[in-house]
Structure 1
């Protein structure tokens, strides 16, 4: 069961990489008009990479030596797979809707426009929501309290630090149009939060 859940987690990681790579290549070709990234942003993104990729691999390689292992069940694996499927769908949809407006850090591109269609018609931060779903899927699939929850903790830290700065940057760029968008959408969960 543990081997299967790790393989399913690894498939999710590979699928994420396959979806992210074209967006990163496209983003490198776009000129940046406004750059608000900081060393803290880069540190938090690194923490996310460690939590969402390295820690589960380190756990499976035995680097944690069984520390904080927990019981596992088929129900958790099924829930993890379902959550992972929603994560991958939302992640892909977010990238598709953003198109050339996406960047990994706090940047506004040349010709950047405010995206309010697709999943962005319902929530302002679907990419963060997708990463939170990834963290939850990982917690369900990796039966270790440290490696399982490392991704979710890292993503929550990134969101808590960047969300207000990102919204301020969007207000600075789009003004009243962004304010009106905020009035009709929630941050992460449609109609709730």
Structure 2
């Protein structure tokens, strides 16, 4: 982490990287409804905020500059590699792109995009047939696409944490949960008992739960929500 020249103010890279990941996500998610566009829009805002600090203006570095300089003397925090704060803070002073947090980050981002694409294929087939999506990723959780967006954002946070994206993350998670519940109400009205049985057997966002454990939203202790874009 001994780069001498600043690696910020590169707004063309902000625009290019933001566009690449937003278009990439859109091609996997394929938004159709206004709700879909809101979902993608929130993710896009997170991505733009992330790359604005990664290549544009390092707000987090400036806000924490005093503490960082005292705690990690000798590190040039205006060098790009030092922006991988978790690698710096936990002592990985070699190339941060091969550090443990960066590796886990890449796995989460790649896995999130894979889940996003896999879920869309199942959902598209179900919508074309007018049926409830219950196979593939939907056999393990009711909202794989929302879960995918959260996993991708978590991956980016591990790679390049910033004050703004850390503040945005819980807000976006809550927003996605609310959108999911809204969709589930629509699915419950459309598919009736079929949806209720599916919701009781399938967790909303976390596939580690036992498949046949009732869900509080579906069994009357919460909102009767819906499957994604069903």
CA contact (8 A) 1:135 1:151 kept: no
Is 1:182 paired with 2:188?
no
Question: Partner residue of 1:46?
Answer: 41
Question: Partner residue of 1:31?
Answer: none
Within 1, Cα distance between the matches of 2:168 and 2:156? 7
Within 1, Cα distance between the matches of 2:122 and 2:18? 21
Is 1:117 paired with 2:112?
no
Question: Partner residue of 2:109?
Answer: 84
Shift of residue 54, structure 1, vs aligned partner: 0.9
Q: Which has the higher contact order (CA 8 A, sep 6+)?
A: 1
Question: Partner residue of 2:175?
Answer: 158
Runs of 5+ unmatched residues, structure 1? 29-34, 102-108
TM-score, length-normalised on structure 1?
0.70
Matches within 5 A, 1:144-155: 144-147=162-165, 149=166, 152-155=169-172
Question: What SS does the aligned partner of 1:136 have?
Answer: helix
Matches within 5 A, 1:19-98: 20-21=26-27, 24=30, 46-51=41-46, 53-59=47-53, 60-62=55-57, 64=59, 66-68=61-63, 71-73=85-87, 74-98=99-123
TM-score, length-normalised on structure 2?
0.60
CA contact (8 A) 1:131 1:155 kept: no
CA contact (8 A) 1:47 1:154 kept: no
| Structure whose alpha-carbon radius of gyration is higher | 2
Structure 2 CA distance for partners of 1:23 and 1:146, relative to 1, 3 Å: closer
Question: Partner residue of 2:72?
Answer: none
